[in-house]
């Protein structure tokens, strides 16, 4: 099982009848379904939109919802019209959709020199909703070194505001914005090279405020404390905290017996949680670690092996009152080797005591699906899961589900059915509307026919 930030290659598959040439917003195919609106039944598919670029594919890697819930922004990359030797170059792509209908509002592309190879991997919004920030990697051409690139776009029109494409090794794999909107933080996935793992940019101009290198290589995730004072970074198994204004180190630690997959900060700002797995277990086991956000001291640690073998965590989310932390991941299913079920665990954030744990057999997948995302409804009553089956087809590839937050009972589960072998379909992002009535799942959907290309896909469900 690979536990690392997703930096997807251009997916190479397409869905019959839904592939359109990339000429702007018209290149997005939106397929509304009955039941659209805030009164839709839970689990109802409200609309679906797919985008493929130049008739040769696209992938989706991130999404963010406007603060009023009216616009959904997605990011990824699409194939360019110009073919180059030794590959099909990509252009970083950001799309804006009407959150209620799935109608495309605008499309922006990053394609310097018209012959570069560029991709966006993460997305964030300014607190006032005026700007959307996308980060990723760019290279002058196929096969050349990748450097980090971050672009700010006008959230209403898609017009670029600024671009930071310095020679910093990259790509940028994670992005966060300070609560006051003044600073954009980018974690660079720097592999086998030197360079800053964390970069703070002026949100108005894109100029560098400060840089830091918490590890010798590859930062996978950056998050900001709710009060904006501290930046937390996960980098090559190292968890580090920095002063958000100056970049001065506050603390760091290497969590013991855990290969971290992701981190989350509690809404009250007092705790940071790390989830992943312990490779030294027999079999591999889920690990969850709670850390004091102010000092970095470990508060508690929990593990779970599962009745049939390996278990591991992929992402975490909190109840609105910071009392419960929910962890989404996988656990091995019975009877079939290398088959996993989606699993969710709930723990008391203060003590680590188990509240409940559950599996979703309906979301069983062949081999390993290394995408799993979790979110909590604003009122704290529901848990939402988005997942996939990267590298293998599954009956519930690119799936979404809802659970009762108090008990873990399944409320509904839906998925896109994909046929054929080794055609990846996976969710890469999950967003919940401010009123809690809708969720949006973005990622990549593929199948072997009719053409070998993929689509950046977004599906909206009633919650």
Per-position DSSP letters for 372-441, written without gaps between them: EEEEE-TTSSEEEEEE-BTTS--TT-SEEEEEETTT--EEEEEE----SSS--BEEEEEEE-TTSSEEEE
326, 344 Cβ separation under 8 angstroms: yes
For 262-293, write each residue's pLDDT tens digit.
999 999 999 999 998 776 655 678 889 999 99
Q: What is the CATH number of the domain that holds 293?
A: 2.40.128.630
Q: Which residues contact 357 (CB under 8 A, 6 or more apart)?
A: 304, 343, 344, 345, 346, 408
pTM, two decimals, is: 0.87
Cα–Cα nearest to 77, from 92, 66, 65: 92
Q: Is 360 inside a domain boundary?
A: yes
Cα–Cα nearest to 392, from 430, 342, 331, 338: 338
Q: Is 274 inside a domain boundary?
A: yes
Q: Is 328 inside a domain boundary?
A: yes
For 220-241, write each residue's pLDDT tens digit.
899 999 999 999 998 877 899 9
Cis omega before residue 450 (within 30°)?
A: yes
For residue 459, what are its two tokens? 């599906």
Q: Is 363 inside a domain boundary?
A: yes
Q: Report in angstroms the alpha-carbon separations of 85 from 10, 27, 213, 380.
A: 16, 26, 36, 52
Nearest-5° angle of CA 241, CA 244, CA 246?
A: 105
Position 379 scores a pLDDT of 97
DSSP code of 30? E
Q: Is 159 inside a domain boundary?
A: no
Position 305 scores a pLDDT of 80
175, 219 Cβ separation under 8 angstroms: no
Residue 22 C-alpha from the chain's centroid: 24
Position 145 scores a pLDDT of 77
How far apart (Å, rounded) are the C-alpha atoms in residues 18 and 20?
Answer: 6
Position 194 scores a pLDDT of 59
Position 33 scores a pLDDT of 40
DSSP code of 84? B
Positions of the chain with pLDDT lower than 50, given as ranges: 1-39, 85-86, 192, 366-369, 390-395, 421-422
For residue 321, what are its two tokens? 């009152």
Q: Is 128 inside a domain boundary?
A: no
Position 264 scores a pLDDT of 96
How far apart (Å, rounded) are the C-alpha atoms in residues 10 and 60?
Answer: 9
How far apart (Å, rounded) are the C-alpha atoms in residues 265 and 183?
Answer: 18
Position 423 scores a pLDDT of 57
300, 274 Cβ separation under 8 angstroms: no
DSSP, collapsed to helix, strand or coil, labels residue 344 as: strand
Q: Which residues contact 217 (CB under 8 A, 6 or more apart)?
A: 190, 191, 192, 193, 197, 235, 236
Q: Is 269 inside a domain boundary?
A: yes
Q: Which domain holds residue 420?
A: 255-432
Q: Report the number of distinct structural domains present in the chain.
A: 1
Q: Which residues contact 322 (CB under 8 A, 6 or more apart)?
A: 266, 267, 268, 270, 271, 349
Cis omega before residue 283 (within 30°)?
A: yes
Q: Is 89 inside a domain boundary?
A: no
How far apart (Å, rounded) are the C-alpha atoms in residues 304 and 290?
Answer: 15
């Amino acid at each position: 099982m690979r536990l690392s930030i997703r930096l997807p290659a251009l997916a190479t598959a397409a869905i019959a009848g839904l592939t359109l040439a990339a000429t702007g917003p018209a290149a997005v195919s939106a397929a509304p379904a009955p039941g659209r609106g805030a009164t839709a039944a839970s689990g109802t598919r409200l609309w679906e939109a797919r985008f493929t670029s130049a008739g040769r594919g696209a992938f989706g890697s991130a999404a963010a919802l406007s603060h009023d819930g009216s616009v959904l922004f997605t990011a990824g990359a699409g194939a360019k019209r110009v073919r180059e030797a030794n590959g099909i170059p990509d252009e970083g792509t950001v799309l804006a959709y009407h959150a209620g209908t799935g109608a495309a509002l605008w499309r922006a592309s990053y394609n310097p020199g018209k012959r570069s190879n560029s991709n966006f991997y993460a997305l964030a919004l300014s607190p006032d909703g005026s700007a959307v920030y996308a980060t990723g990697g760019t290279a002058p051409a196929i096969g050349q070194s990748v450097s980090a690139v971050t672009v700010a776009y006008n959230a209403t029109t898609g017009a670029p505001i600024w671009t930071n494409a310095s020679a910093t090794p990259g790509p940028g794999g994670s992005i966060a914005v300070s609560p006051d909107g003044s600073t954009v933080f980018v974690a660079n996935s720097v592999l086998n090279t030197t360079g800053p793992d964390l970069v703070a940019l002026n949100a108005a101009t894109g100029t560098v405020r400060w840089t830091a290198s918490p590890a010798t290589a590859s930062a996978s995730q950056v998050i900001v404390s709710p009060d904006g004072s501290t930046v937390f970074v996960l980098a090559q198994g190292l968890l580090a905290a920095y002063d958000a204004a100056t970049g001065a180190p506050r603390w760091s630690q290497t969590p013991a017996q855990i290969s971290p997959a992701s981190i989350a900060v509690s809404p009250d700002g007092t705790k940071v949680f790390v989830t992943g797995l312990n490779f030294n277990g027999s079999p591999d086991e889920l690990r969850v670690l709670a850390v004091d956000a102010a000092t970095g001291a470990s508060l508690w640690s929990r593990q779970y092996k599962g009745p049939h073998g390996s278990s591991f965590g992929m992402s975490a989310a909190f109840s609105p009152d910071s009392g419960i932390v929910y962890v989404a991941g996988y656990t091995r299913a019975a009877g079939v080797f290398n088959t996993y079920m989606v699993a969710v665990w709930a723990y008391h954030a203060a003590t680590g005591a188990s509240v409940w744990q559950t599996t979703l057999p309906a979301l069983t997948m062949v081999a390993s699906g290394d995408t799993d995302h979790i979110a909590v409804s604003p009122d704290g009553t529901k848990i939402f899961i988005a997942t996939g089956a990267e590298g293998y087809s599954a009956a519930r590839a690119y799936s979404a589900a809802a659970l009762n937050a108090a008990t873990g009972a399944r409320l509904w589960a839906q998925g896109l059915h994909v046929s054929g072998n080794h055609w990846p379909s996976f969710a890469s992002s999950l967003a919940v509307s401010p009123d809690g009535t809708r969720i949006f799942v973005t990622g990549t959907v593929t199948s072997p026919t009719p053409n070998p290309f993929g689509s950046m896909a977004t599906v909206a469900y009633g919650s």
